[in-house]
Amino acid sequence: MMDKMIFGRYVPADSVLHKMDPRSKILIIFLFVCIIFLANNAVTYALIGIYTFFMLGLSRVPVRFLYGGLKPVILLVLFTFILQLFFTKEGALLYELGPVKIYEEGLRQGIFISLRFFFLILMTSLLTLTTTPIEITDGLETLLHPLNKVRFPVHEMALMMSISLRFIPTLMQETDKIMKAQIARGVEFASGPFKERIKAVIPLLIPLFVSSFKRAEELAVAMEARGYRGGEGRTKYRELSWKKADSFQMVLLVLVTILLFLLRS
Amino acid sequence: MDISLKHVDYRYQANTPFERLAIADVSIDIPTGVYMAIIGHTGSGKSTVLQHLNALLQPTKGSVSIGDQEIKAGLKNKNLKKIRQKVGIVFQFPEHQLFEETVEKDIMFGPMNFGVSESDAKERARIALHQVGLGEEVLQKSPFDLSGGQMRRVAIAGVLAMEPDVIVLDEPTAGLDPRGRKEVMDMFYDLHKERKLSTILVTHSMEDAARYADQIVIMQHGKVVQRGTPEEIFSAPGELVEMGLDVPEVVRFQLKLEDKLGIKLEKMFLTIDELSAAVTKVLSRGVRL
């Protein structure tokens, strides 16, 4: 049921992206999220598109799998498109059918905004697809390290993040298990009237909450038993190392940024 | 109600990089009224087989017939609810499925989903609670205020109250103390005997399989590797040991005894009582120790 889910999922493979330093990957994604807003005409969107698909190709994540996982997202993208299409009332009138009027600007905005949305989702999933949660957290912790000076609890934040990432699959499994147990008791999650389906969520959510609290407590006890006392003086088992590929990727993105500045209208 | 699996394959996460063949070409016949044990290691595919028994999973290849309904690979199947009422599954750690405010409501949940009236469901809750050996005083308590063992029983009662024709048990005694273990297993055995309830026990305890089951199916790496009566299965303990599976203590004792004394008893005995009777008989005939 959650088989096809790709968000937050790591797909092991032997690719350039997998081997990169998580710090550079995080920086790249961060920069990408900023520069995507620079694109405002067909050429710049094409450039962003080429870059995105180039990165996808580098990741060696099977396309079929990506497609399966992105299906629900594509629906959402289509929805944004339609919203933009019907509710932007600028530019020349292109088409009219009764109360439905489609304007030139609406079509343009619709295409651009849904493309932007789509590329953003692809790139951000690429980060989690090629980087283990633990690497992401390590990367973030190092990157945010300077914030320690202003008393921002970087280590605690990173720990919270890695714990929540770590428990996503566990929670999924648990959901699947409890769902099956309740289906066996006659609950119908996927069919029936809307009201009934909403009601069907209760026998799923309550056991999930109960087990999550229990798990949290057990984890806290286990951590204390192993002498965890926060980030002070803690050393790392995995050292991050910045390689040539990382520098190359950074340069590439900077080039893309410069091109975007030159080509945008 | 007969259940039979015919050449069933099941793939988890088909068409993703995580695809995994869980069971391959599994055929099992479960006639009405039988007590069958399915044994195997973790990862042998026994839990996957279990989920086919009430169409929670539908085969990637092959077919499963449950009563008069047939579930074939690749077809949309309707009316699964009817199957689910007839085949009750007690999952591993069933207490994790409790959610209602009171024990009574939780037990009534299953029957009411299958269209039983409220008053009937209440009556069934009382009966089921009695069957699992709990008193009526817990009916109005919150299930989360009970002890672990009591929660387990309430959850089992929730499945029994659906009045299924077939009951499937997935390690029903995991995490219970030895006494609780025996009580729960005996309870299921009594139900099986009294109500002619087909029972399918998924376990890795050879002791339980030997003591209660009429038929044993052994699974390894997603395949059925052996099937037969407990006597048949345990008469060739060498193969079991090779698969890394345990042999019941009684059998182990008999084998060692036969080896030490250089004799052969007439058959494999599966209970201590039978074995000691047989040994006494042999000794009374006079064997030099």
Q: State both tokens at B204.
A: 């890795």
Of A56-70, A93-107, B28-42, the poorest mean pLDDT is in A93-107
For A126-150, the pLDDT digits (tens) are: 998 899 888 888 898 899 989 988 9
Nearest-Cα distance to chain B for A206, in Å, is 6
- Identify residue B150 by its one-letter amino acid code: Q
Residues of A within 8 A of B17 (CB-CB) are 11, 13, 61-62, 65
DSSP summary character for residue A239: P
Q: Dmax of chain B from CA atoms? A: 69
Q: State both tokens at B71.
A: 């579930």
- The number of beta carbons lying within 10 Å of the beta carbon of residue A219 is 13
- How sure is the predictor about A6, in pLDDT bands with cuts at 50, 70 and 90? low
Per-residue pLDDT 10s for chain B (289 aa) are 899 999 999 998 877 777 888 999 999 999 999 999 999 888 889 999 999 999 999 999 999 999 888 988 877 777 888 899 999 999 999 999 999 999 999 999 999 999 999 999 999 999 999 999 999 999 999 999 999 899 999 999 999 999 999 999 999 998 888 888 999 999 999 999 998 899 999 988 888 888 899 999 999 999 999 999 988 888 877 788 788 887 888 888 888 888 888 888 878 888 888 888 888 888 887 765 5
For B137-171, the pLDDT digits (tens) are: 999 999 999 998 999 999 999 999 999 999 999 99
Is the minimum CB–CB distance between B54 and chain A shorter than 8 Å? yes
Q: Given a cut of 70, is residue A238 above it in pLDDT? A: yes
Task: Give the H or E element holding residue B255.
Answer: helix B249-261
Q: Which chain A residue has its CA at the smallest distance from B116's CA?
A: A186
Give phi and psi for A190, each to the nearest 5: -105, -10
Cite the DSSP H helix spans in A36-153.
42-59, 63-87, 104-130, 133-144
Give the C-alpha separation, A155 to A87, whole Å: 45
CB contact under 8 Å between B110 and A185, yes or no, is yes
For B207-231, the pLDDT digits (tens) are: 888 889 999 999 999 999 999 998 8
Q: What percent of chain A has pLDDT over 90?
A: 42
A contact set with B (CB within 8 A): 3-4, 11, 13, 61-62, 64-65, 68, 174, 177-178, 180-188, 202-203, 206-207, 210-211
Give the C-alpha separation, A112 to A39, whole Å: 9
- How sure is the predictor about A8, in pLDDT bands with cuts at 50, 70 and 90? low
pLDDT at res. A223: 92
CB contact under 8 Å between B113 and A210, yes or no, is no
pLDDT at res. A7: 67
What value does the mean pLDDT of chain A take? 87
Nearest-Cα distance to chain B for A118, in Å, is 21
Q: Given a cut of 50, is residue A1 above it in pLDDT? A: no
Task: Give the H or E element holding residue A96.
Answer: strand A93-97
pLDDT at res. B288: 58
**Cβ atoms of A177 and A208 closer than 8 Å:** no
Of A265, A261, A263, A262, residue with least CA distance to A35: A261
CB contact under 8 Å between B84 and A186, yes or no, is yes
- The number of beta carbons lying within 10 Å of the beta carbon of residue A97 is 7
Q: What is the dihedral of CA B7, B50, A184, B4, to 10 degrees?
A: 40
pLDDT at res. A4: 57
Please list, residue by residue across B35-55, b when 16 or more beta carbons sit within 10 angstroms of its beta carbon and e when fewer do.
bbbbbbeeebbbbbbbbbbbb
Q: Given a cut of 90, is residue A205 above it in pLDDT? A: yes
User: Residue with structure tokens 């005996």?
Assistant: B186
Average pLDDT over residues A182-208: 87
**Cβ atoms of B263 and B282 closer than 8 Å:** yes
Q: State both tokens at A146.
A: 């300077």
**Cβ atoms of B246 and B253 closer than 8 Å:** no
**CB nearest to B98's CB, from A11, A68, A207:** A207
Of A239, A238, A241, residue with least CA distance to A20: A241
Is the minimum CB–CB distance between B109 and chain A shorter than 8 Å? yes
